[in-house]
Chains A and B, each alone.
Chain A
């Protein structure tokens, strides 16, 4: 759901830049506090792993396949600030290496996929993990995608450059992604379950504020 240039009004795009700038700036500050300057780069290794995992195709009925977005998973695995940084790297590379999205719209894409997706996923997971771990991961994956779609719908809907208004864009984006989000939630839960089984030390029994990436966390 990368937004290309031309969909957003300059003002809306500017607001998104401001929002992601502030959020990412805070994430950088907090990450420095958590890791120190010299170890932050390491996050790139995990970010690259998430990026590569997005390439993995998961079969869905009807002979087609879906893939992973991973924002919520990044939030769950790394915590909010490191998760935001990791997904920022992913979205930036998608733009400047693969040409996804647009230059002016990068701020909006960062806001939706690196900020909202991660933070909502993390918050939902924290809120629900007491009830059921894997279920919480599924809800986090589903909810994060749906809320980011809502953000995109709002941004595009409030832009006069795009002729449809919020009344159209929001329902379409939200309903569409709430359905796609089911797959994302299932994938997030599957991967989370697997990682939690194999490395409980990484994800369980830690205070949820702690980053879970190794070296990064230890």
Chain B
């Protein structure tokens, strides 16, 4: 297999592997997995809001601890969570690193004639932790809540039906198309020898992308028939799956609510 198209297969395989790995954890038995998806979605969103609100490193670290605790309760290995959510904060830290010298404040030490200030270091730390916790909370949601549950939650939360269905159908066909694209590339490679240059690579990618879109459009037409055949002229109206909230759900919601309010109060109180 040669060149850039081969990388496509790796990209897809990598993406699929990540999704599959997440699904394995989502199948496990744990605190978040047992929550009503609406509760999981709202509570984690509230926690993320709490982190975003804070301006104090201590509070941000509390949120980090809370996230780690939720992960432990939900059978999510902390190393996995960390590995998943380390890259973005580290890159972000690099981006804001110059602020360590740019922000005015008391000099902590001097590097190459530049003063590293306490305010600067505090900012870089706070920023990195905040981003890290934000990413970790999203990863936690991804790892513990299967997407079909997220879709059900969106439905129950009264997001417009049309929108929820577009999302659900996208998800359904995404994997079919990943497979199809991957096999298109594999099938092409299974009958290809030798290296292709830049121009050849573009020609191939153009051809594959173009054909792929045409097929997608035709597929859309056929799926439309399938839907019509079974739905008639009604908007899709599946059975609801929501259940009554239990004690754990209420506890999680209460915890998230308190955390947001506390974080807000600390931010805006003088």
Contacts and interface: CB of A to CB of B under 8 A. Distances in A.
A19 interface: no
A45 B215 CA distance: 11
B135 interface: yes
A102 B213 contact: no
B4 A5 contact: no
Nearest to A91: B167
Contacts of A39: 224, 227-228
A104 to B, nearest CB: 5
A43 B257 CA distance: 36
Contacts of B171: 44, 48, 89, 93, 97
A4 B135 CA distance: 7
Interface stretch (A120-128, A144-152, A195-203): A195-203
B52 A6 contact: yes
A86 interface: yes
Interface stretch (B70-78, B233-241, B244-252): B233-241
Contacts of B163: 24, 28, 85, 88-89
A111 interface: no
A54 B211 CA distance: 14
A218 B233 CA distance: 16
A77 B209 CA distance: 14
B18 A98 contact: yes
A60 B199 CA distance: 10
Contact of B176 (A48, A77, A215): A48
Nearest to B174: A48
B254 interface: no
A163 B123 CA distance: 8
Contacts of A40: 162, 165-166, 235
Contacts of A163: 96, 99, 102-103, 123, 127
Contacts of A56: 5, 8, 181, 205, 208-209, 212
Given A89-B167, A191-B210, A195-B210, A99 B48 contact: no
A140 interface: no
B169 A41 contact: yes
Nearest to A32: B162
Nearest to B120: A163
B220 A42 contact: yes
Given A6-B131, A41-B169, A216-B224, A31 B162 contact: yes
Contact of B135 (A8, A89, A99, A199): A99
Interface in A10-55: 10, 13, 24-25, 28, 31-32, 36-49, 51-53, 55
B58 interface: no
B116 interface: no
22 contacts: A5-B51, A10-B49, A32-B162, A41-B165, A41-B168, A42-B169, A43-B169, A46-B217, A48-B170, A49-B219, A52-B180, A57-B11, A58-B202, A89-B171, A99-B22, A103-B44, A104-B45, A162-B96, A163-B102, A163-B103, A190-B206, A195-B214
Interface of B: 3-5, 7-8, 11-12, 15, 18-19, 22, 44-45, 48-49, 51-53, 84-85, 88-89, 92, 96, 99, 102-103, 123, 127, 130-135, 137-139, 141-142, 145, 147, 150, 160-163, 165-174, 176-178, 180-181, 198, 201-202, 205-214, 216-221, 223-225, 227-228, 231-236
